[in-house]
Structure 1
Amino acid sequence: MLDPSLVSLTYLDEGAANIVYRISASPSASPTRSSHHESYSRTTPPPSEIDTPPIRPSSSNPFPGQLLRLRKDNATAAVLDSHHHFNNRIAPLLPTANLIQQTLVRASSHLIQKCNAGLRSMEKRGARSPQRAGVYLAEGEAFAVLVTDMSSSNSSSDRDAPVEAETESLSVEFKPKWLAQSPNAPSNGTSRRCRTCALRALRESRGPMPGDEKLLSSSSGFCPLKLMEQDRGIVREVGNRIVELNRIRKEDRGWMEETLFAWLYGNALLARLRTLQVVMDPEGVLMGNLESPDFLTAMTMRDCTLFLRIPRDGGPIEARLGDLDLKAASPKKADYWRRVERQLIDDGWYTAIGRGAAVESEERCQLSQ
């Protein structure tokens, strides 16, 4: 079991459902004290216990190449349920090498409480996003997940070393979002925006709202349909935008843009992701069964994040999909999805007419080209 007496956690990032921490050995951990934390992999489900080597103070990270993900106390699925969904619904659909790997572990209530105290301290210092303030980790949650660390690194075996001017690899991330148009969008060539661009335009028109996802405003987004284009210029444009969004240093942008373009163009992983979105939700949120496992899996695939680690030496790019959490089949969530879709249709956000007319400085959707 992970406990403050064994490990120290450093806040790294957070989303709507989880917070990710960098993990290191606690200075107070005894060199001879065994961690013996309970760890559950895909092949050994709970409650089988796996013994691990002792956590030693000399180890900067007792779990090299991994981060710790903890669940927030909101309407998200329990960690055990989400992990089961990942192993049984998500993992069989995609290559193992292209997934952020997950290892289930037990986390003590003391560890969660200490993290929550740290979050409150961050808020007092103004170090936590106001958008995330007031929501903390679920203190009743007994499990956490170790996930693959895809951050920039000095070496593949030491991802906790400081990221200096010259690292062996640089990382970028982005959300592919809806790689195909919504099945419920107006047809017959009348749509001028895809689902992602339509929602972005709606949100841009009203101004930022609490809960809006990062990288979704027109000033920072891109049309996901462009990722699937055969036109090299369009794909290159998207790749350059992704590099820009990830705030890569100017001196690294040239080689990064070329390398990323070569990976993006005709990419099989993105094509597979698009196929899953289409096949598992052929009817859309207005006509489909919003409680079906296939539909919920499609929505998961539309909200995942693609993490890329790009070596400087021209080696192969490591690409892994993350944020593949279980979408809860709740009446509240189903109602939200339907309301959004109806608004996008009825107010002209797909067709760019009426209320949905062009938004100032809007990123052009591929459908309007």
Structure 2
Amino acid sequence: MTKPNLFELPSGVQLVYLAEGGANVIYRFVRKPILAKKDPKRPLPPPTHDTDHYNLPTQLKGKLLRLRKETPADISYTEIVRNFDTIIRPLFNPEELVDQTLVRLPEGLVASCNEQLRTAELNGARPEKRHGGYLCLHEPFGLLITDMTTAGDPGATLAELKPKWLNQSPSAPATAHRCRTCALRDMKNRESQLLGRKEQRSFCPLDLVSGQYDNVLRATGLIKGCKDRSRLAHILYRNPTLQRLQSLQKTERDVGLHGPAAQSREMSLAMTLRDCTMFIKIPHDERSSVEIRLGDLDLKTGAGGKADYWRDLETRLIEQGWYRGSNISQNSGECALHSPRRPSQSYLA
């Protein structure tokens, strides 16, 4: 139910396109119109460091605006925030989360943003894979989310990673030589090979929560956003937020073959915790504190065939030998479950 005192976005606030995913578009707030010469080929201006925070309403400072797209799931922001407040928020400390709160949108804002997106498609300024996806016209709210960009601190760097499965899948074979994340990566890379596409490299999540610093350092070589691997490794080594996430994943074990039944429409906290994103804002001054928050924590649903997809993936990983590392195309060096690294028993579900 909408709160009577819900903050309404001021009609005079300008929005600058920042990024988008499959289900949402993210905007930055600018109080006054940007006076720079307009380039007709770039209707979606790039992020600017001059966010004019001093003229923004207090509620918008340090925030970005998230607007949802029209999707088959059609889950309203009211429901998303309710789930976040009642299920996700109690699991973490406030400073560990990319916060999100409802904001009422002024009339016509979404339609105007959609026109910008269409214009951007015509001018080649919008990623081609996002063409045809537009904002939901019947969603009256947006979400104010914590700004984890470095716009307010140009000297800082932002590392971004998906921790993924920090424990082995509970339905993986006892003799597995691959964790769930590495097994899936190997399977997808094999598919890429057959299609002549580029293979993907990624760190082993078990290295992130290793009790050995060298294993954490190894993982940082495949994390984007921070060139100082040693500093990032010291930040992540035995990091409390990562440890909390690993512990929660151990508790929420309804995954793999033990996950939601095929055709289920149930929400899955377990899968949500295994697909969130960690944002690490690292100040230039090493004496300043590092900000680490988890985002992408909208509850996942098994609807739309997702539950069947999750179960089918696990079956393929088991039956086709991807967990065992028995496929000749598999790289032997990425996973912590494969020698010469000896993982701690804490990785095992």
**TM norm. shorter chain > 0.5:** yes
Structure 1 position 133, deviation (Å): 2.0
Q: Which amino acid in 1 is paired with 2:72?
A: A
CA contact (8 A) 1:153 1:170 kept: no
Cα RMSD after superposing both structures: 2.6
Aligned partners of 2:170, 2:125: CA distance in 1, in Å? 41
Structure 1 position 362, deviation (Å): 7.4
CA contact (8 A) 2:255 2:270 kept: no
Q: Does 1:142 align with 2:130?
A: no
User: Cα deviations across residues 163-193 of structure 1 (Å, max 9, x unaligned)?
Assistant: 4xxx2x2211111011111111111xx2122
For residue 40 of structure 2, what is the aligned residue in structure 1?
none
For residue 184 of structure 2, what is the aligned residue in structure 1?
199
Aligned partners of 1:91, 1:58: CA distance in 2, in Å? 27
1:366 corresponds to which of 336, 341, 344? 336
Q: Which amino acid in 2 is paired with 1:338?
A: R
Q: Does 1:226 align with 2:207?
A: yes
For residue 23 of structure 2, what is the aligned residue in structure 1?
17
Q: How does 1:64-103 map to 2 (within 5 A)?
A: 64-76=61-73, 77-103=75-101
Q: How does 1:276-287 map to 2 (within 5 A)?
A: 276-281=248-253, 283-287=254-258
Report sequence identity in percent. Answer: 40
User: Cα deviations across residues 124-147 of structure 1 (Å, max 9, x unaligned)?
Assistant: 222222222221211111111000
CA contact (8 A) 1:25 1:59 kept: no
User: Cα deviations across residues 173-225 of structure 1 (Å, max 9, x unaligned)?
Assistant: 111011111111111xx2122111122122222229xxxxxxxx853421111
CA contact (8 A) 2:83 2:299 kept: yes
Aligned partners of 2:80, 2:169: CA distance in 1, in Å? 25
Q: How does 1:179-194 map to 2 (within 5 A)?
A: 179-187=166-174, 190-194=175-179
Aligned partners of 1:60, 1:170: CA distance in 2, in Å? 25
For residue 344 of structure 2, what is the aligned residue in structure 1?
none
For residue 272 of structure 2, what is the aligned residue in structure 1?
300
Aligned partners of 2:164, 2:88: CA distance in 1, in Å? 16
TM-score scaled to structure 2, two decimals?
A: 0.80
CA contact (8 A) 2:190 2:329 kept: no
Structure 1 position 324, deviation (Å): 0.5
Q: Which runs of 5+ in 1 are unaligned?
A: 29-56, 156-162, 209-216
Aligned partners of 2:229, 2:53: CA distance in 1, in Å? 39
Aligned partners of 1:308, 1:174: CA distance in 2, in Å? 9
Q: How does 1:200-349 map to 2 (within 5 A)?
A: 200-207=185-192, 219-242=200-223, 245-246=224-225, 248=226, 253=227, 256-281=228-253, 283-289=254-260, 296-314=268-286, 315-330=288-303, 332-349=305-322
Q: Does 1:6 align with 2:3?
A: no
2:126 corresponds to which of 101, 125, 128? 128
SS of the residue corresponding to residue 221 of structure 2 reads helix
Aligned partners of 1:153, 1:11: CA distance in 2, in Å? 14
Q: Which amino acid in 1 is paired with 2:9?
A: L
How many equivalent pairs are there?
306
Aligned partners of 2:22, 2:78: CA distance in 1, in Å? 18
Aligned partners of 1:220, 1:132: CA distance in 2, in Å? 24
User: Cα deviations across residues 95-123 of structure 1 (Å, max 9, x unaligned)?
Assistant: 11111111211124521111112222222
CA contact (8 A) 2:260 2:302 kept: no
CA contact (8 A) 2:185 2:200 kept: no
SS of the residue corresponding to residue 334 of structure 1 reads helix
Aligned partners of 1:108, 1:131: CA distance in 2, in Å? 29
TM-score scaled to structure 1, two decimals?
A: 0.76
Q: Which runs of 5+ in 2 are unaligned?
A: 1-7, 35-51, 340-349
For residue 174 of structure 1, what is the aligned residue in structure 2?
161
Q: Which amino acid in 2 is paired with 1:70?
A: L
Aligned partners of 1:349, 1:19: CA distance in 2, in Å? 35
Structure 1 position 58, deviation (Å): 9.0
Aligned partners of 1:10, 1:362: CA distance in 2, in Å? 44
